[in-house]
Chain A
Amino acid sequence: MSYGLVIGLSFLYLALLFGLAYWAEKRSAAGKSLVSNSYIYALSMAVYCTAWTYYGSVGRAATTGLEFLAIYVGPTLMAPLWWLVLRKIIRICKVQRITTLADFIAARYGKSIALGSVVTVICVMGTIPYISIQLKAIAGSLFILTGTNGVAATAAPFYLDVAFLVAVTLAVFTIVYGVRHLEATERHEGMVTAIAFESVFKLVVFLVAGAFVTYSVFNGFDDILQNAAQLPDFQELMTFSGENGFGSWFWLVLLSMLAILFLPRQFQVAVVENVNEQHLNKAMWLFPLYLFVINVFVLPVALGGNVLFAGQQVDMDMYVLAIPMSQGQDLLAVLVYLGGFSAATSMVIVSTIALSVMISNNLLMPVLVAGPAKRRSSSYFQTMLLYSRRLSILLVLLLAYLYYKLVAEHYSLVEIGLVSFVAVAQFAPAVIGGIFWKEGSRNGALAGIVAGFLVWCYTLLVPSVVGAKLLPESLLQEGLFGLFWLKPFALFGLEGMDYISHTMFWSMFLNIGLYVGLSLLGQQTSKERNQAEVFVDIFKYSAAVESSIVWKGTAYLPDIRSLLSNFLGEQRAQEALEAFYEQYPGAASADGRADPRLVTYAETLLAGVIGSSSAHILLGSVAKAEEISLDEVLDILKESQQLISMNKELRQTSLELQQATAQLQASNQRLQEADELKDEFLTTVTHELRTPLTSIRALSEILYDNPELEREEQQAFLKTIVTETERLGRLIAQVLDLERFDLGRQGLQLQPVHLPEVVAEAVAALQQLAHEKQVALVVNMPPALPPVPANYDRLVQVLVNLISNALKFCSSGSGKIVVSGVLRAGTIQLSVADNGKGIALADQQQIFDKFYQARHQTTRKPEGTGLGLTISKKIIESHQGRLWVESEPGQGATFVFELPVAAVQQEQEQVQTGLEGPFH
């Protein structure tokens, strides 16, 4: 395939990325941001999968077998922990406007310039090998695709070297693409969108290639395995090798767990580019899933390549490209090349942007702002920033090319990548300690990182240079100065570990030891302590960070204003100040002095552009800070914490008070209602008493005043007096009865009661009345009903009440009342049905209310007291039963009560068994 075609396609692909990023930024400006989508966020994290994954994993699997998986197991294990670690880091960075890993560490330890610079240097040195393998992969894949002899090609002068041209192209592209203008937040929505797209693209192409190898070249996984099993080293590939196999796995997993957090590009996409903490929820499962899917075909491709190219000189890292080529699948090969190109470019773009911000903010800016520079023209800093970043990108890529040219050619992709991993792992103690341990101090962090880094240089960087034959071989064999305990691969005589585990062990040992040791021994400055408090308790402070940063001194508003406009531009500075005064209306002062919170606010704003250390220096140049003691810092912080918790308590208390008030009101209302009910009841009772009393009094007076009355008349009057007196007595008895039920003092004695007997007694009492009214009273009880636990007399009372009610509503002559019982699901239902005029649906509930008749005069009957049904219902309910009415107006009414039978039945059975016992 011709160079021209492949390079043309590569440029086309880059143009596509640029277009995509441009489009995403346009959309974002129009308020329809794509990065507010959590899938985009999760996919952008897959920038973790670079050419290393795409080409290197296959090569690694082909040589060392399953070990390639370790660096995917680590991030998968780490993902659930993101909720604890990454979320906290994201929150801290948002609140303090931190835009790089170097700035994060510097800010945590008192905005230390030294620490920021050291971290930047390590990041750059650690990342350069990593970028170089991307160049190597792109160049390598180009050679294979175009059929160029790689060895001959690299012998060309550097300006004709493919890798050099690739480096320059990518540098220009990244500059145009990522650093066109300055952003206060350092977020690149276009870049993130393009990276997410690249993640999808490389995954799809890799899967297609894998499927092609597995199912087209071979006949599925089984076929590949069977073929591969014939190879001599198969057994070794598929098992843990040798005595340190487990150890390497452990160190590799740990290493990749740290890498996923601290690689500059991961920090960039996961923290700096994060727009919403909730997006982590999706990334926590989608990212591990991505890692899983992209690794499915690694082993088949590796083993397939081993089988196909057995005995040939083919770079194992390039199997995924070489196999389609060997099968004549040119189109697929081009796609695979573009997939690899995509994996490599995404890493290069994100890494160089992140590094360029670090270099300009943590190396250059502190120097620039320390001088008299603050009096420069307003565009000076912005121009400086922009150009320093562009230059940094070019510089980083050229260094990467240099590393590639001198060292990387001699190693595989994974070997070099792991070197980078170990470098960034050195930040773990300072960062993790920094967000969970307040005592962690600047000196400890600095010493730990530097020591770890030196170990890294000596045991990984130096040997790689030796391997490239730039340093004498004797260094590895005999140690520095011929001292055996300084052998880079067996430091202090530690042997038996592979070189990565060996470096990890010593660097971490020294790093953690120094960090913890010096932190415990030394004293933090007040600035450090302040930042430590805010970092560790960020979730407490994030709402009001301005007031949680302790600062005392004098500053003037005009100074701060001009500082802000120098870096943000006039308009944005003005907007920022307005936003501040809106949040803190009380902070404005007449004499031009700036509120301490404004100083903090301005510093945070500037930190977003030039990093926190530089911002701190700048503010220090316009504001005269007073020395503030550690105790004071702690006191003020404690106060602000107490204020927060007191506010919380106050809110809680007032909430409780509100609830209590509501409860009081409710119970008061209930009392009032009960009172009203009681009043109404009394009124009704006295009213019901007055009526018969009137009759009795009137008739008695007549009898008294008229002794001459006829005997017959006297008899009639006296009879009415007696009837009305009975009515009075009945009423009084029922009121008292009801009162007993209301107070729960009915004191029912329950015994096994046979309902047919109850019915018989009630019917007998009313038979005469029914006969007089010419109403048919029919009893329809099955003979074999089980007994119920009940009070016999009370049940008779209920039945008499129901039957006499029915009698009242039956018309004379055609009236018919049926009393029947039925056993149903552990209960006995007893019903009294009449064929009277029935009860309207609306009244069916209310008829059980006290004096319902009296209050609704249309149904009032002189015979009743209006309490019968109420009492009946209470009696049944105190038997754990139910009483209700079923009626359709015009069709008569049926009153039904239901009593539970089970308990007594068992008792009864026991009694019967007892009877059947020895006495029978």
Chain B
Amino acid sequence: MKENGEIKVLIVDDEPGILMPLEFLMRKSGYQVYIARNGTEAKESIDQELPQVVVLDLMMPDVDGYEVCRYLRRKTGMGQAKVIVISAKTKEEDIRKAYEAGADAYMPKPFSTRVLVEKVKQLVDHEAES
């Protein structure tokens, strides 16, 4: 089982007001945190070093969250890197599309930070077990 310090979490969102609390929370949980402010940065980050968990916004300039997710899945296949989608989109259709693109969890905004932290932890553990 990996130590939390070895777990890489990539946070992808174009809103500074959201990046700020998420970065804080993930650091506090002891993960290595990477930030991407748009889809392109996210892909670059994935190329450089594969994260264990991605916290992914859907609506972003240039490359959107679905595309980032599919990109990741093309690299890893299901089960390896875990993806939590956070989005203001709440329609069923959007949620289904996210799972189809390869997401592991979907959290509509505004979410509880405690639930998010818990979710990330579960996924990290789950991945460690598998």
Interface on A for B, CB 8 Å cutoff? 683, 686-688, 690-699, 701-702, 705-706, 713, 716-717, 720, 723-724, 854, 857-860, 862
- Set B18, B60, B112: member contacting A857, Cβ < 8 A: B60
Closest to B109 in A: A694
Main SS at interface, chain A? helix
In the complex the two chains form, is B25's CB within 8 Å of A691's CB? no
What residues of A have a CB within 8 angstroms of the CB of B91 in the complex?
683
Task: Select which of B64, B88, B114 is within 8 A of A687 by beta carbon.
Answer: B88
8 Å CB contacts to A: which residues of B1-43? Answer: 14-18, 20-22, 24-25, 28
| In the assembled complex, B96 has its CB within 8 A of some CB on chain A | no
In chain A, what residue has the closest Cβ to B116? A698
| A698 in contact with B14 given A691-B109, A857-B61 (CB within 8 Å) | no
**Cβ–Cβ < 8 Å partners of B14 in chain A:** 860, 862
Sample (25) of A-B pairs whose CB atoms are under 8 Å apart: A687-B59, A687-B89, A688-B88, A690-B90, A691-B88, A692-B17, A693-B109, A694-B109, A694-B111, A695-B20, A697-B110, A697-B112, A698-B21, A698-B25, A698-B113, A699-B21, A701-B112, A706-B28, A717-B20, A717-B24, A857-B60, A857-B61, A857-B64, A862-B15, A862-B17
Compute how far the CA of A705 lies from the CA of B114 in the bound complex, rounded to whole angstroms.
9
A691 CA / B24 CA spacing, docked (Å):
18
Q: Which residues of B contact A698 (CB under 8 A)?
A: 18, 21-22, 25, 110-111, 113
| CB-based contact A690/B17 at 8 Å | no
Q: Judging by beta carbons under 8 Å apart, are B18 and A695 in contact?
A: yes
Q: Does B92 contact A (CB under 8 A)?
A: no
Q: Which residues of B contact A854 (CB under 8 A)?
A: 59
| Contact of B62 with A by CB under 8 A | yes
A803 to chain B, nearest CB (A): 23
Contact of A716 among B20, B59, B109, B110 (CB under 8 A): B20
Contact, CB under 8 Å: A702 / B21: yes
Q: Known: A691-B88, A857-B59. Is A717-B21 also a contact (CB below 8 A)?
A: yes
Tell me the bound Cα distance from A691 to B21 in angstroms.
13
Q: In chain B, residues 37-62, which have Cβ atoms closer than 8 Å to a Cβ of chain A?
A: 59-62
**Distance between Cα atoms of A716 and B22 in the complex (Å):** 14
Q: Say which residue of A686, A706, A860 sits within 8 Å of B61 (CB atoms).
A: A860
Contact across chains for A858 and B114 when beta carbons are under 8 A apart: no
Bound CA span A705–B112, Å: 12
Q: How far is the CB of B110 from chain A (nearest CB, A)?
A: 4
Closest to A854 in B: B59
Contact A694 B110 (CB under 8 A): yes
Residues of B close to A693: CB separation below 8 A: 109-110
Residues of B within 8 A of A860 (CB): 14, 59, 61
Cα of A683 to Cα of B15 in the assembled complex, Å: 19
- B4 CB → nearest A CB, Å: 18
Q: List A contacts of B86 (CB < 8 A).
A: 694
* A696–B111 alpha-carbon span in the complex (Å): 11
Docked Cα-Cα span, A857 to B86, in Å, equals 17
Q: Name the A residues within 8 Å of B25 (CB-CB).
A: 698, 702
- Which 3 A-B pairs give the minimum distances between C-beta atoms? A695-B17, A698-B21, A690-B88
Note all chain A residues with C-beta closer than 8 A to B89: 687
Q: Mark B87-130, 1 if CB is under 8 A from A, else 0.
A: 01111000000000000000011111110000000000000000
CA distance A694 to B88 in the complex (A): 9
Which residues of A sit under 8 angstroms from B59, Cβ to Cβ? 687, 854, 857, 860
Known A-B contacts A690-B88, A692-B17, A695-B21; A702 and B113 likewise in contact (beta carbons under 8 Å): yes
Q: Which residues of A contact B111 (CB under 8 A)?
A: 694, 697-698
Per the bound structure, the CA–CA distance linking A522 and B72 in Å amounts to: 107
Give B36 Cβ to nearest chain A Cβ, in Å. Answer: 15
Query: Which residues from B are CB-within-8-Å of A716?
Result: 20
Distance in angstroms from B15 CB to nearest chain A CB is 6
**Using Cβ atoms and an 8 Å threshold, which residues of chain B touch A713?**
24
A857 — which chain B residues lie within 8 A by C-beta? 59-62, 64
B110 proximity list for chain A (CB < 8 A)? 690, 693-694, 696-698
Q: Cβ of A690 and Cβ of B109 under 8 Å apart?
A: yes
Give A520 to B28 CA distance when docked, in angstroms: 118
CB atoms of B61 and A724 under 8 A apart = no
Distance between Cα atoms of A854 and B60 in the complex (Å): 9
Complex CA gap A239/B71 in Å reads: 110
Instruction: Determine the chain A residues whose CB is within 8 A of the CB of B108 once the complex forms.
Output: 690
Residue of B nearest to A692 (CB): B17
Instruction: Report whether B21 and A858 are in contact in the complex, using a CB–CB cutoff of 8 Å.
Output: no
**Chain B positions within 8 Å of A683 at CB level:** 91
Query: What's the Cα separation between A356 and B25 when bound, in Å?
Result: 118
CB distance from A195 to the nearest CB of B (A): 83
Nearest A residue to B22, CB-CB: A698
The answer for the CA separation of A221 and B105 in the assembled complex, in Å, is 111
Residue of B nearest to A698 (CB): B21
A862 touches B16 (CB 8 A): yes
B61 x A858 contact (CB < 8 A): yes
A698 to B18, CA, bound (A): 8
